[in-house]
Structure 1
């Protein structure tokens, strides 16, 4: 492996009861600092959810440490090579939930969740006529890449999905629903919610888009565009057969999968923007933001 590819990104989660998330998070933070990792890790009574980056030695040490804990002996890691750190800093924080679906009665994936589908099986199920493929991510994630034929829920946050489903899919409970997300964690709860709502059959992509793209047989087949990730890379390739740009520049509409944040700090809206339009519009998402920025300078 070259020097440039001597770093790795780990994407992982585990739904398992953690007795004292605050104490666990504090101890875990100190260990990660000592190892030299960067990233974001959430800890709650319901489990752990993290993405970290480091050298191969650092990430291997981290995986061994986590698996040495009986709670995480069988935890799965999605591993991606990278040229360096993809985070600027390290954060390990206790939370009420590691994934917030916004339900009055939360879902415990260890008690209720959809059928796990491996990449090839997921692709085969997608070809069936009675299947609905539901993207469990946010609209801006879908916009730069998704499975062909998947439904794009008009939601900006995961907790908006239950209401959207009730308003748009309530009459299709006799169909099979397939869900997918970046690494699989959101589908664990969403598929359980769908079953609780009365959908006949629910399947979820085991390991999410990242694992699907790494599968040696499928190599991302059926996924168009790139996968949005919550680190400095922003997007990563999935389909190894063809590279299709499905995103559209917010300003001119031409094919693009490049994201920027609006130059007006109170807005800071992340939107797809080509380099030409970024220069033309000075990084602003709208004339309104440009005018407001100018007024603050006067």
Structure 2
């Protein structure tokens, strides 16, 4: 039996952390001592991370997290991978582990009130009932490449826009709302917000799409699941898989997502191999004509380097669907 050389862990935990900034610095040292790579957000409200390393290092990390005592309810989603899913290790303090878009993030507390957690087998059993609405709480670039069959999706570029969209869901107040996201973390706040706004029958897929793929075979999840690491997307459906995304340039069916080779654009979009080589990894002819574009090697993945602030880029971001560099999902 082939054993993968590395593992990737996806996880989160809402649990209060005192002196969270100091904790973030110490946590970074722990990860570096284990030669882990990845991206972790630490906030007063808890942890949110994706890390990658050898199986031994990942086990040592999980043991350390559980030994802390504050994070005993953490559920790690473990993937065997052939290569590390990140280049570097980052562990940073932020106001929230998922940006809620609220002026006062303390308006909601996932430790006090969230939707009813559904295990994957229970989500599978409920999702096709007549009085059920399946709600995808992820951003455009995520649900464009994969989503549950018949799911309602929202036109948002970042989860912080979710509160503004709740009014659009008023028509479903008499339904059972089944929320889902990649690993469960966004649903903790999304379901809490829905309850706060008067929705009464709110549920969430515990462990998200990733756990659903592992425990329920990913049935009726169409396309691929976007992940916040170098893999970009992963397969989750082993029962009735399909591809739902199309090439931005020619419209052919493809699940390949890349970053535009023009670093000042950097749009995350789906592009087939043929258009990738023809467009040199760019999303448009305008981007193709820009100087100093990154060299396209067929993957569309580029090691992130700091870019100069560009006002045109800032304006362009408002109309593009690609993830902020600080976003992490568990």
TM class, shorter-length: over 0.9
Aligned to 2:147: 146
Is the Cα–Cα contact under 8 Å of residues 156 and 162 in structure 2 kept in the other structure?
yes
2:50 alignment partner, SS class: strand
Q: For residue 155 of structure 1, report the CA deviation from its aligned partner.
A: 0.8
Aligned to 1:260: 258
Aligned to 2:228: 230
Q: For residue 73 of structure 1, report the CA deviation from its aligned partner.
A: 2.2
Aligned to 2:193: 193
1:105-144 mapped onto 2 (5 Å cutoff) = 105-106=104-105, 107-144=108-145
1:173-212 mapped onto 2 (5 Å cutoff) = 173-212=173-212
* TM-score with structure 1 setting the length: 0.94
Once the two structures are superposed, residues 91-124 of structure 1 have per-residue CA deviations (whole angstroms, 9 ceiling, x without a partner) of 0111111011101232210111000001111112
2:289 alignment partner, SS class: helix
Q: Equivalents in 2 of 1:284, 1:60: separation in Å?
A: 40
Q: Equivalents in 2 of 1:11, 1:222: separation in Å?
A: 22
Aligned to 2:169: 169
1:92 alignment partner, SS class: strand
2:113 alignment partner, SS class: coil
1:2-151 mapped onto 2 (5 Å cutoff) = 2-3=2-3, 5-106=4-105, 107-151=108-152
Q: Equivalents in 2 of 1:291, 1:8: separation in Å?
A: 39
Q: Equivalents in 2 of 1:160, 1:175: separation in Å?
A: 23
Q: Equivalents in 2 of 1:177, 1:37: separation in Å?
A: 38
Q: Equivalents in 2 of 1:100, 1:147: separation in Å?
A: 24
Over the residues paired in the alignment, what is the CA RMSD in angstroms? 1.5
1:65 alignment partner, SS class: helix
Q: For residue 34 of structure 1, report the CA deviation from its aligned partner.
A: 0.7
Q: For residue 40 of structure 1, report the CA deviation from its aligned partner.
A: 0.4
Q: For residue 292 of structure 1, report the CA deviation from its aligned partner.
A: 4.1
Is the Cα–Cα contact under 8 Å of residues 248 and 270 in structure 2 kept in the other structure?
yes
1 or 2 for the larger relative contact order (CA 8 Å, sep ≥6)?
A: 2
Specify every segment of 5 or more residues in structure 1 that has no aligned partner in the other structure, as ranges: none
Q: Equivalents in 1 of 2:114, 2:227: separation in Å?
A: 24
Q: For residue 294 of structure 1, report the CA deviation from its aligned partner.
A: 8.7
Q: Equivalents in 2 of 1:94, 1:21: separation in Å?
A: 7
Q: Equivalents in 1 of 2:181, 2:246: separation in Å?
A: 21
- Judging changes above 3 Å, is the alpha-carbon distance between structure 1 residues 46 and 163 closer, same or farther for their aligned structure 2 residues? same
Once the two structures are superposed, residues 246-271 of structure 1 have per-residue CA deviations (whole angstroms, 9 ceiling, x without a partner) of 11000111110111111222111111
